[in-house]
Amino acid sequence: MSLVFGGKPYATDFESVSWLDDPKRAPRAPDSDTDPRKTWVRSIVLHTTSGTARVLKPGLSGASTRAEAYARYMRDTKRWVSWDYTVDTDGTVIVSNDPLTHYTWHATAWNRYSVGIELVEASGGVLYEGQLAVLVKLLDAITWHTGVQRCVPIGPAGTPDRRILTRADDKGALRGVDLVGVFGHRNNTRNRGYRDPSDMPFDALMKAGYLALDYEAEEDKTLVRVKQAAHGLEQDGVCGPETRRRVGQTVVRPGDDARGQPAWQRA
């Protein structure tokens, strides 16, 4: 089973289903043919299906087809809404888009340069530890293929940032263009509460080694400027394509090669 990047399937070491594997289980996002990606991917935005996540349970749920149902809803609804991946409570990932070729509609002004992931919530706002472990692996792959840096936002207290970011205001057409990393829908728009996607996914990412930065204090730009200076690049503090090419990933995960490519993606 596979993820799809640049039209090519990539095998995973977790359960993933794309339209290349089974279009009935994983139909393509409805705008996959109408909204070509014309700029580099800057951010990955995490969502929860109900915006009520509040409980973390161990392991995984029993077998679930809810992610498939959400993918079919996305295909069939008249609402202008779509996203790239759905992570079910049993750890299955439904792949609905190729983020290198097209963009989806999940994060207002950020759509053109972001990737959207929905985490399925069980009844009562439940997420599962195993589900979040799969999310980490999925993000390892997406960040490798897109170049999005493995960084997450924190507030002054060092905990996941629940605030909408000043540089991320969804009402400004150019807001978010200099934000590179993994964010929550709550950081992007005032229309969602702090439980979209809650602190839990970010706690899992920080535990996995993703770099926690205070984006409001522009720690991301300070870090990137240091790396750009070391490589003789323009020091704009934004990890764009040339910086990515020269620097690689900010965070190299266990089993990655020196530039951050997951071992199971090299097979």
Write down all domains in the chain, each with its CATH number in brackets.
2-225 (3.40.80.10)
Confidence check: pLDDT of 131 > 80: yes
Q: Judging by beta carbons within 10 Å of its beta carbon (0-12, 13-18, 19+), is residue 77 exposed, middle or buried?
A: exposed
Residue 44: helix, strand or coil by DSSP?
strand
Q: Give ∠ CA 153-140-31 in degrees, rounded to 5.
A: 85
Q: How confident is the model at residue 86 (pLDDT cuts 50, 70, 90)?
A: very high
What pLDDT, on a 0 to 100 scale, did the predictor assign at position 10?
A: 92
Are 62 and 211 in contact by the 8 Å Cβ rule? The answer is no
What pLDDT, on a 0 to 100 scale, did the predictor assign at position 170?
A: 56
Share the mean pLDDT of the chain. Answer: 91
Buried/exposed code over 219-231 (b: 16+ C-beta within 10 A; e: otherwise): bbbebbbebbeee
Q: How confident is the model at residue 264 (pLDDT cuts 50, 70, 90)?
A: low
The reply to whether the predicted model has a pTM over 0.85 is: yes
Confidence check: pLDDT of 82 > 90: yes
Tokens read off for 22: 């089974």
End-to-end CA distance of the chain: 14
H or E element at residue 243: helix 241-247
* CA dist., res. 44 & res. 222, Å (int): 21
* CA dist., res. 86 & res. 75, Å (int): 13
Q: How confident is the model at residue 117 (pLDDT cuts 50, 70, 90)?
A: very high
